[in-house]
Structure 1
Amino acid sequence: MLKMRQIRQMQEHEREEYIRLSSFAFQYTLTPEELVKRAASLVPQENWGCYGEEGLEARLTLLPMEVYVGGKPFAMGGIAGVATWPEKRRGGRVAGLLSHSLRVMKEQGQMISMLHPFKFEFYRRFGWETYAEYKKLELGPHQLPRFPAVAGRIVRTTELDILAPVYEAYAVRYNGMLVRSRKWWEDRVLARKNEGRLGAAYFDADGQAKGYILYKVADYTLTVYEWVALDGEAYRGLWNFIADHDSMLGSAGKVQLLMAHPGDRLASLLKDPRILQETVPYFMARLVDAEAFLNRYSFRQGVKGELHLHIRDEQAPWNEGGYAIRLGEEGARVRRSAAGDEAASVEALSCGIGILTSMLLGYERPSFWYEHGLLTGSASQLELLEAAVPEGRPFLLDFF
């Protein structure tokens, strides 16, 4: 039966078949009209299926995207919509699709891949590792901050020409943030205005937009779906704006900030810091082309030395092996190391592709993985790697 399987892109006439599988797997219902509309939105070149004798057995979507790492855009392949019919599970179909996707991404020049896991343990087997988390905040009306008046003003708006430049200035600061296209803004970020979602931007005294929120007020709850503030003034100005909604919340209402940066320190600015806070592991990432990624990666300036890495990657064998990275005034020079040379010696640092991804994106420091035995090698090489990898501050505001 295994040899009868075929992995290929979706064909035009198969659109509704893909949507039916997804709606069953993710447990949502569509009207006939919604099914036709959703099917029409699919891009055949972005959708891959595993086919058997009975037709489509498993599917996924491979989205061509870009993300910021070290302030530079990197080509990224976003994995989404992974689904299998229940009776076809545990037969290697999704594994085959993931392995195939890695080869496709490599051919398309995508150096990194990201996905939202249904189960973290499952995707770790294929080289993906946690890279982003967010903080969820909840405050009662009596807990809302009342900061001194700021010099700027709030304008209620969802104008893309106002919000997008603020987002870009914010996103470039954090590893793993999407480079949003205008279509992404319109289809994914702003498409829910008809559901009562609103927007408000903070402008400083010079008339420059420095922050914004996308939010909704309903049932005595103010829910913030997206929060972006470029500086402390904008941060305080947006919170003052939220606090001005206290009369709409009543005594039993609440404010929910659904996706704050994990480093958000609102609690430290409050009279009573005992607000509800939850840190939520979110997205996973893995390098697709380690050599290309390392050549583009911005190691910390001023660090000198030669770093030796040995990477393990069963799912993408082109990444397997040794790397010598010479660090100097002119940046980093990366070369592959032949088997048996110094890069494969006991001095070299050794780890799996997921651990390497976690370190380079800044989710965990090299010393953390070294302490727990998932990064091995000499202490001197660890010291060099620790010095060479910048503090990354990973984050992601989007979902796919």
Structure 2
Amino acid sequence: MNRYLLTEDKFEKFYDLYLYSFNRQDSEHRKNVFKERYDHSLSYGIMNGSKLGSGLFSIPFDVEFHGVNFKMNGIGDVMSAPEFGGQGGASTLMNNALEDMYQNQVTLSYLAPFSFGYYRQFGYEQVFDHTQITINNDNLPKVKSSSHGYVERLNIRDTPDSVKVLYSKQPHMGGLNRAQWWWDHMLDKHQDYKIALAYDDGNELIGYLIYYHQGETFFIQEWVNTNILSRQILSKFITKHQSIFQKFVYESPDPDFKADLFENPRIASLKVVPYMMARIVNLKDFIERYPIQKDNMKRICFKVEDTLEYNDHIWSLRINNGVVDLQITDDFKADFTLTIQTLTKAMFGYRNLNSLFESGYIEGDFDKVNKLNDIFVYDKPQLIDYF
């Protein structure tokens, strides 16, 4: 067992450090929600005398990446007490958490960075963006009423299981396969949220909208549609709040929001918001089970630079009739060299290898870089959840 893993009896110390480090006010609700996360996480910490000096969560999740499921641990609440800061406590915990992930057959890791530069030193890279769409109430598009379907409005705590089923059936490009405890945690944490359910004439759930409001602003947190009807009646539901709220904001997980589909694209203010980072923990597993886009590729050799020794090798890769042949070949000459961060960007579809080569992030044979580039997905990843 890792000596930095905390047991149940350290919860109060972990919670106290969290309150102080993030300047949060204690409340029964906050403590209960935090305890849910603690109970389902690997909690790491370093003691500083009788107090906890540093801590972080490593939260086990499953993600779906273009039809393939991978284990992923989310890093959260990385913190150090000010009197313990600068002593490498958080770095020690990060490295130990990554080592444990690899030993526990975890393939990927995500986190929300307070500093992109800080987490790049641990092999993480920016791959998830959101598009924030803001529309004033007098610019809301006109939506036709439908003679079919209807909307039911509920408090978030009354969310039916059919919503969870509908979410699970959506195609995911790196998003979470939400476990029951995570659904419970989300609903407990955001008790002020509401949900609008879209049904067709046969009373089948076809979409939903999770939202909340602050002052004169209507915020859309999550929006899932399965067909045109659900989009129409939920859009109409939103516009019916036009006289109540001055501003409407939707932070979409799709970084390519299609403003051109509006009758007047200028009605919306669009801003791309960098969201979360990702890391390949087990490169061999990720490549061998990756949703490759070509069935054949002649052998290439590439050097991956990584602080995780398991990935820091020259790799030989060949694809024959859809079968991936990946080997460590440190005695071979590499066709090109790249970091784990650069490879993460490309494999997640965030930015292609050709672009990264032209930007100076890859050194070596461009033709071989191009061959590897062709097997990766082209759609940018999407992630709704936050931890």
Instruction: Verify same fold: TM over 0.5.
Output: yes
Correspondence list, 1:120-131, <5 A: 120-131=116-127
CA contact (8 A) 1:9 1:49 kept: yes
Deviation at 1:40, TM superposition (A): 4.6
- 2:322 aligned partner: 330
After superposition, the Cα gap between the structure-2 partners of 1:45 and 1:219, relative to the gap in structure 1 and judged at 3 Å, is closer
Query: Is residue 2:365 matched to residue 1:367?
Result: no
AA in 2 matched with 1:328:
N
AA in 2 matched with 1:287:
I
Which sections of structure 2, spanning at least 5 residues, go unmatched? none
With the length of structure 1 as denominator, give the TM-score of the two structures: 0.88
Distance 1:236 1:18 in 2: 46
AA in 1 matched with 2:172:
R
Secondary structure of the residue that 2:132 maps to in structure 1?
strand
After superposition, the Cα gap between the structure-2 partners of 1:44 and 1:298, relative to the gap in structure 1 and judged at 3 Å, is closer
- 1:168 aligned partner: 168
The partner residue of 1:255 within 242, 248, 251 is 248
Deviation at 1:63, TM superposition (A): 0.7
CA contact (8 A) 1:46 1:61 kept: yes
The partner residue of 1:313 within 290, 306, 317 is 306
Deviation at 1:35, TM superposition (A): 7.3
After superposition, the Cα gap between the structure-2 partners of 1:231 and 1:334, relative to the gap in structure 1 and judged at 3 Å, is farther
CA contact (8 A) 1:145 1:240 kept: no
Distance 2:300 2:228 in 1: 38
- 1:3 aligned partner: none
Residues 52-88 of structure 1 show CA distances to partners (whole Å, capped at 9, x for unaligned) of 4454211011111111112211001111111001122
Deviation at 1:43, TM superposition (A): 2.5
Query: Is residue 2:106 matched to residue 1:110?
Result: yes
Deviation at 1:187, TM superposition (A): 1.4
After superposition, the Cα gap between the structure-2 partners of 1:248 and 1:365, relative to the gap in structure 1 and judged at 3 Å, is same
AA in 1 matched with 2:179:
S
Correspondence list, 1:208-247, <5 A: 208-217=204-213, 219-247=215-243
Which sections of structure 1, spanning at least 5 residues, go unmatched? 1-5
Aligned length, in residue pairs: 381
Correspondence list, 1:42-53, <5 A: 42-43=38-39, 46-53=42-49
Query: Is residue 2:46 matched to residue 1:70?
Result: no
Secondary structure of the residue that 1:8 maps to in structure 2?
coil
- 1:387 aligned partner: 374
Deviation at 1:240, TM superposition (A): 1.9
The partner residue of 1:340 within 324, 327, 331 is 331
- 2:78 aligned partner: 82
After superposition, the Cα gap between the structure-2 partners of 1:216 and 1:357, relative to the gap in structure 1 and judged at 3 Å, is same
- 1:23 aligned partner: 19
After superposition, the Cα gap between the structure-2 partners of 1:237 and 1:331, relative to the gap in structure 1 and judged at 3 Å, is farther
After superposition, the Cα gap between the structure-2 partners of 1:311 and 1:126, relative to the gap in structure 1 and judged at 3 Å, is same
Distance 2:211 2:8 in 1: 37
CA contact (8 A) 1:7 1:50 kept: no
Identity %: 23
Secondary structure of the residue that 1:273 maps to in structure 2?
helix
CA contact (8 A) 1:145 1:239 kept: no
Distance 2:304 2:178 in 1: 31
After superposition, the Cα gap between the structure-2 partners of 1:383 and 1:125, relative to the gap in structure 1 and judged at 3 Å, is same
CA contact (8 A) 2:130 2:252 kept: yes
AA in 2 matched with 1:166:
L
- 1:143 aligned partner: 139
After superposition, the Cα gap between the structure-2 partners of 1:44 and 1:208, relative to the gap in structure 1 and judged at 3 Å, is closer
AA in 1 matched with 2:255:
P
Residues 226-275 of structure 1 show CA distances to partners (whole Å, capped at 9, x for unaligned) of 112234443333222211222223xxx11111344212214531335242
